[in-house]
């Protein structure tokens, strides 16, 4: 019996070629475009490279027509508002810097769409992500995409064994140019369409202007790390760790945002060397294998989507994990993700909180067992 797969089709070239590849592999393909939010398309610039316009829906529909497969549009605006947009606003109001694509993948593509796929009697959901899913003797693993410049595994660290077993990512085995070449050979209308660049629900790319419309800002102090009050800010949501420009203060030395303190409504600034930390506490940690390693483990860690990997030791705990880096890292930003790799395998990841565990606990051995290596310091 031919297995059915629901392909999440944004109207872009990657998801379109994912549908093409799966059809060639013998799957019964159904294309689904999710309507995430409403756009006032009359105000969009000609150079807009987001998604969810009527043109994007039409591009996905035309690709499905050329493949001879069904195409449906699902309205997920309510779910997207709750799990992505509201989360985005809430995090900024707390002085944090969220990554909305991670929330979208976790809550929309690999939760809501999985449930809809079951209703369509589909065994799998497929996406156009540049990552690979493989089965080993120990279960399913998530790996980096072949094209290192396009690898998207970072935003997928929330996947578990059940989601990995039911997900297909066929474009992860190819370079981006090869994907475009396949789209051109297939005559797809979107073969040369630019990749999406902006936060999808902020079409003009100005997140500060967006926040001004949706969050009531409260002024507060800009404070030097030595305790000196240097000026006043107009809202903590307009600042992120590592920021240099737009601080609204005068200083003879370059100053950077070192901390955004929601409890005191202060923005703390300091010299660049104050940005470096050799450890970070992560919360809401997920391990793709379904369980943490039993002992402290050597890993390579990405602290931002485009960051280089940094060698570190991972110390799993009941309520999160401590990551201790070999070398201090610049601008560890609360709200962003720290993602753990071993080679090309993604082990898991968590949300950056700070440089100390919230429980103030160090690594402890299992009850009755031998003591394990403590967290340094």
Q: Catalytic positions, please?
A: 104, 200
CA angle 213, 217, 222 (to 5 degrees): 135
What is the separation, in whole angstroms, between the first and last Cα of the chain? 58
Alpha-carbon distance 292 to 316, whole Å?
6
Which residues on adjacent β-strands are paired with residue 223?
Answer: 229, 268
- Measuring CA to CA, how many Å separate 234 from each of 91, 113, 208, 228? 17, 39, 12, 18
CB 63 within 8 A of CB 189: yes
For residue 140, give the 3-state DSSP assignment.
strand
User: What would you measure as the largest C-alpha separation in the chain, in angstroms?
Assistant: 72
275: tokens are 């940005």
Alpha-carbon distance 124 to 130, whole Å?
17
- Measuring CA to CA, how many Å separate 344 from each of 106, 142, 146? 21, 9, 10
Comparing C-alpha atoms, which of 251, 302, 248, 296 is closest to residue 272?
Answer: 251
Comparing C-alpha atoms, which of 306, 19, 20, 12 is closest to residue 151?
Answer: 306
Distance of alpha carbon 18 from the chain centroid: 20
DSSP label at residue 294: S
The dihedral over CA atoms of 142, 148, 154, 158, expressed in degrees to the nearest 10, equals: -20
CB 40 within 8 A of CB 24: no
CB atoms within 10 A of CB 121: 10
- Measuring CA to CA, how many Å separate 86 from each of 100, 146, 234, 314? 10, 34, 21, 31
Q: Is 145 exposed, middle or buried (0-12, 13-18, 19+ CB in 10 A)?
A: buried
């Amino acid at each position: 019996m031919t297995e059915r797969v629901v392909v999440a089709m944004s109207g872009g070239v990657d998801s379109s070629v994912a549908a093409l590849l799966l059809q060639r592999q013998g799957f019964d393909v159904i294309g689904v475009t999710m309507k995430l939010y409403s756009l006032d398309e009359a105000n969009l610039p000609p150079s807009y490279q987001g998604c969810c316009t009527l043109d994007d829906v039409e591009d996905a529909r035309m690709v499905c027509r050329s493949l001879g497969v069904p195409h449906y549009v699902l309205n997920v605006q309510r779910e997207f508002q709750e799990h992505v947009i509201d989360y985005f606003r809430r995090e900024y109001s707390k002085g944090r810097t969220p990554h909305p694509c991670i929330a979208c993948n976790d809550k929309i593509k690999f939760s809501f769409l999985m449930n809809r796929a079951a209703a369509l009697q589909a065994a799998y959901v497929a996406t156009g992500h540049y990552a690979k899913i493989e089965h080993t003797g120990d279960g399913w693993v998530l790996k980096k995409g072949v094209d290192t410049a396009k690898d998207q595994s970072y935003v997928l660290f929330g996947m578990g064994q059940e989601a990995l077993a039911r997900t297909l990512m066929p474009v992860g085995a190819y370079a981006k140019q090869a994907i475009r070449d396949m789209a051109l050979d297939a005559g797809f209308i979107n073969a040369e369409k630019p990749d999406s660049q902006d936060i999808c629900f902020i079409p003009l790319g100005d997140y500060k202007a967006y926040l001004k419309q949706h969050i009531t800002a409260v002024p507060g102090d800009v404070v030097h790390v030595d305790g000196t009050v240097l000026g006043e800010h107009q809202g903590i949501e307009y600042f992120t760790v590592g920021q240099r420009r737009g601080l609204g203060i005068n200083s003879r030395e370059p100053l950077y945002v070192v901390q955004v303190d929601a409890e005191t409504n202060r923005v703390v600034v300091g010299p660049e060397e104050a940005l470096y930390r050799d450890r970070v506490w992560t919360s809401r940690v997920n391990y793709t294998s379904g369980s943490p390693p039993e002992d402290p483990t050597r890993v390579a860690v990405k602290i931002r989507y485009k960051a280089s990997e940094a060698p570190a030791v991972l110390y799993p705990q009941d309520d999160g994990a401590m990551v201790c880096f070999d070398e201090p890292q610049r601008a560890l930003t609360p709200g962003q993700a720290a993602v753990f790799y071993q080679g090309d395998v993604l082990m898991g990841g968590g949300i950056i909180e700070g440089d100390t565990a919230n429980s103030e606990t160090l690594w402890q051995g299992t009850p009755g067992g031998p003591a394990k290596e403590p967290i340094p310091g």
